[in-house]
Structure 1
Amino acid sequence: MNWFALFLHQLTDGRSEERGGSVFKGVSFVKVVIDGQELEEMDAFRDSLVYFDELARSAESSGRYLIFTCTCGIAEDGGWEGVNVDVTESTVSWELEVGAERLRFTFDRREYVSEIESVKAALGSSPLPLEPRAVIFPQGFKR
């Protein structure tokens, strides 16, 4: 089983951050940590953003979810076509292709839901908007 954590990264006090050719300032990002490693530290995730609405939905039922998108908000620009999510009573599993690599992670469902709820609470008290603000799904995207 993989360890799963989320945190809200906020660019406050005039700080900015360049990601994928875009400069962000005065916004928040949701960051994913799996087994102690921030996903964006991996080359395949470096120019991606977490689409939190889809991540939150993925805790409810099995299906395909657009959990990651390009920093520009157009999923196909970053090669993102969705994550196959399998939800059971006790686990949430992800299966996705990143470049030529197929990744599979399995998380404790209680931990997964708890992390999502923690980020929702943090967002509720944050004055900063969450990026990405708008996402364009891949053509032909199917749940």
Structure 2
Amino acid sequence: MKSATLFTSIIIFITIMISAPAKAAPEVGLMVGSDSGINIKMDNYKFGVGLDDLSFTLDKTFNFQDHPHFYWGIGGKVADSKSNDIQLGARAIFGAHTKVERFTFFIEAQPTLYLLDDVKVELEAIGGVRYHF
């Protein structure tokens, strides 16, 4: 059951990423923090794969109109917990980013509400860099 839930969640995330019309070239990079792993951004959609504890995230981000280096967003997370249970979370994103040549450096705070088994809220955070193709 656990592997079926994880597989279904991965398929849903990939379908959403593929179906989003791309207007800009993708950005691919690394993130460290609560989820250390790979971070991909296409337009205003971010997809992350955490490698410490296997996790998948998908977020829709929005820039603040008067402050182009700051953004917020909403999204979801599917993770494999230390007790080998699947965790499903809804989350908000608050971040800052800056572009230097073909690289974007970013930091984010991510309050996450986990919904399965033990309902809880955790404040997670990441930082990283993505390369523009």
TM-score (norm 1): 0.29
Structure with greater strand percent: 2
TM-score (norm 2): 0.31
Structure with greater helix percent: 1
